[in-house]
Amino acid sequence: MARLYFLYRSKKESAYLKVRLQLNSNREQFEATTKIRSLKSAWAKKRNLSAEEKNSLTQFNVKRKPLEDYIYKRYEEELPDATNRQWLKNVVNEYYEDKKPNRLAPENLVEFIDYYIDCRKEEKDIKERQVMRINTTKNKLIRLQKEYNTVFRIKDVNEDFKTKYIQFSTKHGYSLNTQSRELDRIKTFCRNASKKGVEVYAGFNDLKIKAEKTPKIYLTTDEIEEIKKVELEQDYLNNARNWLLISIYTGQRISDFMRFTKDMIVKDENKRSFIKFEQRKTGKDMYIPISKELKQLLSTLNDDFPRPISDQKYNDYIKIVCKEAKINQLVSGKKRVCIAEEGKKPTKNDFRNVLGDFPKWELVSSHIGRRTFATNNYGKIPTPYLIYITGHHSEAQFLNYIVLPDYEKAAQAFDYFN
């Protein structure tokens, strides 16, 4: 019997998989491109996968079986000539033509969200991380409907809906920022539904939940020095510390810097060194200059990067690193806590970000390196260069990462003018 398998055949960090049908002779085969997108890292790694990589594999496993069954069925029915290289391409194209959503836009809010995702995927205009966030909102709406014993339609997104949504969210411990962000997402569904001819509440665009200002933290130069010199007995903590310093020196997201390898280091005609890679979130080709601090760190690692670890382990380990470095200043911020009843096994819905005053090391997470890079270099390096390196789309987005208190900004301005 013919054997079917999938391959990752692209140099890009995210691409559509190839499907290959190997015939009995093993010398003849068909090949075609599917619409199953995967992360290169998820396809290559066997363990220590990040949440994004695990989700990529989960999506692949969900989508592969129906396609496999369709191809095998068509092969057994048609027994194509092995010289017909176009056969599998036609079969795969016909499979996706049959799968195209061809229904009217639903009026039910939860059903419309699935329709919205399908349309965005068809247009190749949505990323898996966006799908995960949208599904989080959808699942919350399902719980909201159950609590109020009702089914919300698109046109029901009005002031009464907003009141119920706030009451539900407050009761279950969701912050104002989460409520504001998700209401904006629901309004996006309404705007899209309106374009599709679905009836909407005329004033849905005016629905707002005022977000609260969330304190952000960064590491000062003195704290970075403490992190660099603290003695750590465990190898895994040293490894995490090195990644933390790399994030501070490069200003990149964890989805990018945790993929750095020595093969990404390139030099120009003037012997200047850069890290060349494609940013996962933006798809931009980047050249990050290797600073003298980063060059010094890499030289202690045989001019290579540390071994990669999962996002969760990284977040856990750098907290311990900062605790060992005595980053103990009491600061305001949000800490993720479990709200499940004592003795009850928590679910994914039992965690909230709670505002309060905590030792600084408890609030450290993967984004602190990026904020530290932006804050500590602001005013020292021209802002357009910093915006290029961080990959922000606008100066307003970049300035959101600057955590300097107003006094320090004023002091920098004074030094500049004088």
* Whole-number pLDDT of residue 100: 52
Q: Give first-to-last CA distance, the chain, whole Å.
A: 80
Note the pTM of the prediction, 2 decimals. 0.63
Give the Cα separation of 52 and 294 in Å (integer): 27
* Whole-number pLDDT of residue 401: 75
Establish how many alpha carbons lie within 13 A of residue 305's alpha carbon, considering only the half-sphere containing its beta carbon. Answer: 21
* Whole-number pLDDT of residue 356: 81
* Whole-number pLDDT of residue 206: 92
**Helix/strand/coil (H/E/C) assignment for every residue in the chain:** CCEEEEECCCCCCEEEEEEEEECCCCCCEEEEEEEEEEEHHHHHCCCCCCHHHHHHHHHHHHHHHHHHHHHHHHHHHHCCCCCCCCHHHHHHHHHHHHHCCCCCCCCEHHHHHHHHHHHHHHCCCCCHHHHHHHHHHHHHHHHHHHHHCCCCEHHHCCHHHHHHHHHHHHHCCCCHHHHHHHHHHHHHHHHHHHHCCCCCCCCHHHCCCCCCCCCCCCCCHHHHHHHHHCCCCCHHHHHHHHHHHHHHHHCCCHHHHCCCCHHHEEECCCCCEEEEEECCCCCCEEEEECCHHHHHHHHCCCCCCCCCCCHHHHHHHHHHHHHHCCCCCEEEEEEEEECCCCCCCCCCCCEEEEEEEEEHHHHCCCCHHHHHHHHHHECCECHHHHHHHHCCCCHHHHHCCCCCCHHHHHHHHHHHHC
The structure tokens listed for 404 are: 């300097």
Is 98:73 a contact under the CB 8 Å cutoff? no
Is 221:178 a contact under the CB 8 Å cutoff? no
**Residue-level pLDDT, tens digit, the chain, 418 residues:** 678 889 888 888 888 999 988 876 656 788 899 988 888 888 777 777 887 888 788 888 878 888 988 888 888 888 888 778 888 888 888 888 765 544 578 999 999 999 999 888 887 778 888 899 999 999 999 999 999 999 999 999 999 999 999 999 999 888 888 999 999 999 999 999 998 889 999 899 899 998 877 788 999 999 999 999 999 999 999 999 999 999 999 999 999 999 999 999 999 888 899 999 988 887 788 999 999 999 999 999 999 999 999 999 999 999 999 999 999 999 888 787 776 677 777 776 767 777 788 999 999 999 999 999 999 998 888 888 998 898 887 888 888 778 766 556 566 566 666 6
* Whole-number pLDDT of residue 43: 79
* Whole-number pLDDT of residue 101: 47
* Whole-number pLDDT of residue 396: 81
Is 398:379 a contact under the CB 8 Å cutoff? no
Strand-strand pairing, 14-22 and 29-39? antiparallel
